[in-house]
Amino acid sequence: MGETIRLLRLRILRMVPVKTRLLIQTWHIIEKYHVYEADALQIVSAKHIGAHKLYTGNKQVYEIALKEGINSIYLT
């Protein structure tokens, strides 16, 4: 938890509250790309806040984020 707090303070990490509107948008990503709910929620949340970059170790999330217009960085 300490690392999370440090990343939040440095403004590298941003936590997005889950709201009904985001969950509804998540279904579009799930249906379109056949991904897990949590993965779709990450993508929708990044779009919602206008994230400059989405860092992920999940290649599928990386590829979908790029298709959805999010600057995604794949961590290998």
Q: What is the pLDDT of residues 32-55, one digit of tens each?
A: 999 999 999 999 999 999 998 999
Q: Which position has the token pair 């217009």?
A: 69
pLDDT for residue 7 is more than 80: no
Per-residue pLDDT at 76: 87
SS3 of residue 56 by DSSP: strand
**Which pTM does this prediction carry?**
0.82
Residue 15 backbone phi and psi in degrees, to 5: -95, 130
> Residue 27, CB half-sphere, CA atoms under 13 Å: how many?
4
Helix 37-49 vs helix 20-33: crossing angle, to nearest 10: 120
Q: Does residue 28 surpass a pLDDT of 90?
A: yes
State the amino acid at position 62 in one-letter form: Y
pLDDT at position 69, please?
A: 96
Residue 4 DSSP SS3: helix
